[in-house]
Amino acid sequence: MKAIFIAYNQAYNQEIVELLEDCGQRGYTVWEEIGGRGGESGEPHLGNHAWPTQNHAVLSVVDDEKTARIMAGLRQKDADYPDLGLRAWVLPVEEAL
């Protein structure tokens, strides 16, 4: 099993959840209205008067065979709209309850 943590511009809203569901992934946790700044490029997303945009994040624990399809979908979204900001990390899950 893998954990995929996805941080993304709020403009994606439901698109990320729909991608997970289209890949057969039912379970996930969403955080809304979070701030951040990318390490490579882009503007801060802090939800204040100077930087009004915000991020959302999703954490989903997926079966290994779904990971590549989900990551490919995320890469495509990021390629289609590189200025929005989307980052994802795949982490091993050693144990789950």
The model's pTM is: 0.89
- Domains in the chain and their CATH numbers? 2-92 (3.30.70.120)
Q: What are phi and psi of 64, to 5 degrees?
A: -50, -40
pLDDT digits 0-9 by tens, 39-79: 676 777 667 777 767 889 999 999 999 999 999 999 999 99
Identify the pLDDT of residue 58.
Answer: 97
Contacts of 39 (CB under 8 A, 6+ apart): none
Task: Report the share of the chain in percent with pLDDT over 90.
Answer: 65
The mean pLDDT value of the chain amounts to 90
